[in-house]
Amino acid sequence: MNETVLRIRGLQVAYATPSGMLHAVDGVDLDVARGESVGLVGESGCGKSTMGKALMQLLPPGAEMAGSVQLNGQELVGIRPRELRRIRGEDMALVFQEPMTRLDPLMKVSDHFVEAIKAHRPRTKKAEARAMAREALMQMGIPPTRADNYPHEFSGGMRQRIMIALGIVMRPYMVIADEPTTALDVIVEAQILDLLDRLRRDEELGLILITHNLGIVAETCDRVAVMYAGRIVEVGPVEEVFTNPQHPYTQGLLRSVISVDTTELSSIEGSPPNLLNPPSGCRFAPRCDQVFDACRTVDPVLTPVSTATSAACLLHPGADAGADRRAAAAQQMATER
Amino acid sequence: MTTTDTLSPHTPGTDTTDDDGIMLRVRNLQTWFGHAGGILNRNANPVKAVNDVTFDLHKGDIFGLVGESGSGKTTLGRSVLGLAPVTGGEVWWRGQNLAELSERQFRPLRRQMGMVFQDPNASLNPAMTIVQGVGHPLRIHGICDDRKEIRRRVSDMLERCGLTPAARYMDSYPEDVSGGQKQRVVIARTLITEPELVVADEPVAALDMSVRAKVLELMLDLKEQLGLTYLYITHDLTSGRFVCDKLGIMYLGELVEWGDAKAIYDDPQHPYTDALLGAVPLPDPSRKGRDKNLPVGEIPDALNPPAGCQFHPRCPRAFEACGWEGSDLVDFLERRWTEVDADTFETELAATGPLTAVRTDRRSARFTAAENSRLLPMLEALRKDERHRIFTGVSDISTEGGDVVVRFVDGPAPALQPVEGRMVACHLHGVVTRT
């Protein structure tokens, strides 16, 4: 259980814009253990989707990536396309938001599987591939009798199940899911999350779940990483972070969740900073309700605030030791490149 | 609490808006589409987007209309405002049945009713400045023609909607402001004619999490200040408890439960309401892994809705009276085969024959390619397992003309009935048939 399958160090992603480089992800460290699910949350524009795309190596042209992402010890940053194609599917699966746009409307569902399996194992017999498809579909609750139907003959929830089945047919050990249920209704969403959870336990999959919905994280994740302005500002076990958040941003985010128990509306004033020109010091300082002088000049780093949780906030001793550490990391990165 | 008055049967043709505080009285409202049938759908059934919907909207209330995509909640909202064709039923407003009015007769009433749409980007004309856009309804309805007066009124309304100082926004274009501010502009434009009823269709769904609370707060403040009544359409149950006084739960074009919001949240009486509330993910790890008792499957195709109670194929508590039919048996077998091992699946498939060869109708399922000697004992064994709700509705399993035929009892569509201070359409509370 403690075996780390995904190890992210100093991950940076920058987009070239007419006004300069925009660092959408700016120095992220994160580990995911075998069988562990980690939720990645934050407001729109915090960098969580960019980070997901970077992990999947699906960044648009013009984006630059630096740092290190190791999947079971293999470095993914700068990997050759041929090797990447093998890893995607066999080691790592991706689940997206819009299942219909990822399935070929002119291909039977079973043929999607045959094609995917043959791409990885060219010598697989068709009958064997079909049996693998049927098993993966059944695991996701799709009747085996429907394997030869076309994508349009399935409902939205079933298409998403098919996509997940396609992702796991080669038995990968890491899944990255970017808002996998956002387009679905609440009951179907709960069904899919249930299935993903069961799958993760049965197959000991590592899972990164990118979502804006804190309820989903509370219900399906072991740990949560809260992102703000391209960085992780707090990371720890879901039970700890949700009941006793240490970073003022996490506190504000949790307060602003509207749930069936909500009796008072709350929100975080202001909006996330422009990453072309981020504020000096703590990036959350302009919106923080606990800000003090040092916050405007000292850029805090992630510091342990309990045995399992870290937060990047100057309210916690040690977070100010970061300036040197960050400079050293940047230096190292520059020499590596 | 809902008064007993609201729940009493209505007398068609009467309106007492001002006496009993009911602003809008919706009776058996229907909006059906496409029953004329074109060349491509010769024997098409109508899509019953809104079917037999009855509820009351009290002055000053926020009535939340909740349902999944395809439940008909948006069409219902539009039908009430005359923006979608009403094919039957009544909408009483101030002694007038809106459903009978022509477009021309309706127009003067429109200023009393506003609508806020989901996507603020699509609701604002990008070529109009904010003062032009927000002031536009004043000109259209002939309320005010004086440019200075329009500017004054728009400025007031923008400030009321939290766009302060208004002077900063008046002459800019929609593209110059953020999504949350745009929705404030839309709200200002809706309220500029001083409407009494506002239909808000997913007003915060397109906004970022951090902005939603602010826009909802604004809507609540404006309701207090201006004495508004809202029909608040949403798929999101989480905001409903805090925002709504009354709640209506829609499923496939029908209201399955409506009444006092708090009562419904605390103690839902329709299994669908129960399922919806149970499925909402809670930001509370201590309730992780609770038994959600999720219904199976998804909202069915509106072109071919289930018989009886439309929720019965998915309902965890469905029983004999709920409207079981032939196609349910095919669905049951398909679903069962995702749960059994591969050997059982092959054995059972050999017994039933291909499911495409099963002919189904409202009262029966006929297996035309089955191996009867194996299918009969298989079905009898399944029938004995009481977890399989479908068999409560099976009246007979027999062989007819070489085919195995499974017959079902009659299951009428449930009518709304008063249960615990709200209206519920479910046979669990006593079988009440819709006429």
What would the pLDDT profile of B123-162 be if each residue is shown by its tens digit?
999 999 999 999 999 999 999 999 999 999 999 999 999 9
For B285, the closest of A155, A239, A268 (CB atoms) is A239
Chain A residues with beta carbon closer than 8 angstroms to that of B342: 134-135, 138
Does residue B17 surpass a pLDDT of 60?
Answer: no
Looking at residue B54, its pLDDT comes to: 95
The confidence score (pLDDT) of residue B411 equals 93
- Whether residue A9 contacts residue A25, with contact meaning beta carbons closer than 8 Å, is answered with no
Asked whether the beta carbons of residue A218 and residue B345 sit closer than 8 angstroms, the reply is no
Strand, helix or coil for residue B235: coil
Q: Residues of B numbered 377-416 whose beta carbons fall under 8 angstroms of chain A's beta carbons: which are they? A: none
Instruction: Categorize the per-residue pLDDT at A334 as very low, low, confident or very high, splitting at 50, 70 and 90.
Output: low
Q: What are residue B215's phi and psi, to 5 degrees?
A: -70, -40
Residues of chain B contacting A141 with CB distance shorter than 8 Å = 335, 338
8 Å CB contact between A195 and A163 = no
- Residue from the list B212, B214, B275 with its beta carbon closest to the beta carbon of A187: B275
pLDDT band at B206 (very low <50, low <70, confident <90, very high): confident
pLDDT recorded at residue A101: 75
B 286-315 → A contacts, CB under 8 A: 286, 288-289, 292, 294-295, 298-299
Task: Choose the closest CB to B216 out of A190, A265, A268.
Answer: A265
Q: Which of residues 93-152 of A touch B (CB under 8 A)?
A: 134-135, 137-138, 141-146
Chain A residues near residue B345 by CB distance under 8 angstroms:
144
Q: Give chain A positions within 8 Å (CB) of B294.
A: 187, 190-191, 194
| Nearest residue on chain A to B288, alpha-carbon basis | A219
> How far away is chain A from the Cα of B93, in angstroms, using its nearest Cα?
32
In sequence order, the 6+-apart residues with CB closer than 8 A to the CB of B7 are B418, B423
Who among A185, A239, A262 is closest to B242 (CB)? A262
Interface check B338 vs A, CB under 8 A: yes
**Partner B contacted by A190 (CB < 8 A):** yes
N-term to C-term CA, chain B? 28
- Partners of A138 on chain B (C-beta within 8 Å) are 337-338, 342
Chain A contacts in chain B segment 76-115 (CB below 8 A): none
pLDDT band at B386 (very low <50, low <70, confident <90, very high): confident
Residue B237: which of A158, A186, A256 has the nearest Cβ?
A186
A276-325 pLDDT, tens digit per residue, is: 989 999 999 999 999 999 999 999 999 999 999 999 999 998 888 755 66
Give the DSSP H/E element, type plus range, for residue B67: none
Q: Rounded CA gap, A138 and B339, in Å?
A: 7
Tell me which H or E stretch contains B40. Answer: none
pLDDT value for B4: 37
Residue B251 pLDDT more than 70? yes
Interchain contact, B279 vs A267, CB within 8 Å = no
Per-residue buried b or exposed e for A276-294, using 16+ beta carbons within 10 Å of the residue's own CB: eebbebbbbbbbbeebeee
Of A158, A256, A259, the CB nearest to B210: A256
Tell me what the mean pLDDT of segment A71-88 comes to.
Answer: 92
User: What percent of chain A is predicted at pLDDT more than 70?
Assistant: 94
Q: Are strands B62-66 and B246-251 parallel, antiparallel or unpaired?
A: parallel
According to the model, what pLDDT value does residue A224 have? 98
Given a contact cutoff of 8 angstroms between Cβ atoms, the answer to whether A124 and A181 are in contact is no
- DSSP summary character for residue A108: -
Is A186 in contact with B68 (Cβ distance < 8 A)? yes
Task: Give me the residue from A187, A189, A218 closest to B295, CB to CB.
Answer: A187
On whether any CB of chain B is under 8 Å from the CB of A257, the answer is yes
A 202-221 near B (Cβ less than 8 A)? 212-219
- Residues in A touching B265 (Cβ below 8 Å): 260
Confidence of residue B7 (pLDDT cuts 50, 70, 90): very low
Task: Give the pLDDT confidence score for residue A155 in this predicted structure.
Answer: 87
Set of chain B residues whose Cβ sits within 8 Å of the Cβ of A267: 210-214
Angle at A97 between CA A92 and CA A98, to 5 degrees: 115
* Residues facing B88 on adjacent strands: B30
Which element (helix H / strand E) includes A74? strand A74-75
d(CA B26, CA B44): 28
| Residue A200: predicted pLDDT | 92
Tell me how far CA of residue B111 lies from CA of B137, B195, B287, in angstroms.
8, 6, 47
Instruction: Provide the sign of the torsion angle of the four alpha carbons B427, B429, B433, B435, taken in this order.
Output: negative
Q: Do B212 and A258 touch (CB under 8 A)?
A: yes
Nearest CA in chain B to A139: B338
Residues of B in contact with A39 (CB under 8 A): none
Rounded Cα distance, B247 and B250, in Å: 10
Tell me the shortest Cα–Cα distance from B246 to chain A, in angstroms: 15
Give B-chain residues touching A254 at CB under 8 angstroms: 283
CA-to-CA distance for B391 and B383, rounded, in angstroms? 5
Whether residues B210 and A262 touch (CB distance < 8 A) is answered with no
Label residue B121 exposed, middle or buried (CB < 10 Å: 0-12, 13-18, 19+).
middle
Burial class (CB in 10 A: 0-12, 13-18, 19+), A129: buried
Residue B210 pLDDT grade (very low, low, confident, very high; cuts 50, 70, 90): confident
What whole-number distance in Å separates Cα of residue B375 and Cα of residue B352? Answer: 6
Among B214, B281, B349, the residue with its CB nearest the CB of A216 is: B281
Q: Is the pLDDT of residue B8 over 60?
A: no
* Contact (Cβ atoms closer than 8 angstroms) between residue A148 and residue A180: no
Determine, for residues B355 and A157 on separate chains, whether the beta-carbon distance falls below 8 Å. Answer: no
Q: Which residues in chain B are contacts of A157 at CB distance < 8 A?
A: 298
More confidently predicted of B8 and A117: A117
Q: Identify which of B239, B279, B335 has the shortest CB distance to residue A258.
A: B239
Alpha-carbon distances of B333 from B330, B341, B379, rounded to whole Å: 5, 13, 10
SS3 A10: strand
- Supply the mean pLDDT for chain B: 90
Which are the contacts of A273, defined by CB distance < 8 A and separation ≥ 6?
A: A229, A279, A283, A286
| pLDDT category of residue B5 using cuts at 50, 70 and 90 | very low
Residue-level pLDDT at B290? 82
Q: Which of B213, B299, B337 sits opposite A144 (nearest CB)?
A: B337
**Band (A2; pLDDT cuts 50, 70, 90):** low
Confidence grade of residue B240 (pLDDT, cut at 50, 70, 90): confident
* CB of B433 closer than 8 Å to CB of B413: yes
B335 touches chain A (CB under 8 A): yes
Ordered strands of the B88-93 beta sheet: B47-58, B22-33, B88-93, B96-97
| B310/B251 Cα distance (integer angstroms) | 8
Q: Using the predicted structure, report yes or no on whether residue B1 has a pLDDT greater than 50.
A: no
How does residue B13 score in pLDDT terms, banded at 50, 70 and 90?
very low
Over residues B423-433, the pLDDT tens digits come to 999 999 999 99
- B168 and chain A in contact, CB less than 8 A: no
Give the tokens for residue B264: 């419904």
In chain B, % of residues over pLDDT 90: 74
What CA–CA distance (Å, rounded) separates A209 from A186?
17
B290 to chain A: closest CA residue: A219
Q: How do residues B104-118 score in pLDDT, each as one tens digit?
A: 999 889 899 999 988
Q: Please tell me if residue A271 touches chain B, with a CB cutoff of 8 Å.
A: yes
Average pLDDT, chain A: 90
User: Residue A323: what pLDDT?
Assistant: 58
Can you give the C-alpha Rg of chain B in angstroms? 26
B120 min Cα distance to partner chain A (Å):
17
Residue type, A286: P
- How many Cα neighbours within 13 Å face the side chain of A204? 7
- CA-based diameter of chain A, in Å? 68
In B213-232, the residues whose Cβ lies within 8 Å of chain A are: 213-214, 216-217
Cis link prior to B165 (omega < 30° from 0)? Answer: yes
Higher local confidence (pLDDT), A241 or A58 = A241
The pLDDT tens digits for A147-169 are 999 999 998 889 989 999 998 99
DSSP string, A202-237: HHT-EEEEE-S-HHHHHHH-SEEEEEETTEEEEEEE
DSSP A21-53: EEEEEEEEEEEEETT-EEEEE-STTSSHHHHHH
Query: Could you give the dihedral angle defined by the CA atoms of residues B175, B181, B186 and B191, in that order, rounded to the nearest 10 degrees?
Result: -140
Place of tokens 């007492």: B16
Q: How far apart are CA A235 and CA B213, in angstroms?
A: 25
* Residues linked to residue B47 through DSSP beta bridges, in sequence order: B33
Of A79, A95, A69, A77, which is closest to residue A5 (Cα–Cα)? A69
Q: Which of A185, A186, A218 sits opposite B283 (nearest CB)?
A: A218
A189-212: average pLDDT: 93
Please report which confidence band the pLDDT of residue B234 belongs to, taking 50, 70 and 90 as the band edges. very high
A289 Cβ under 8 Å from any chain B Cβ = no
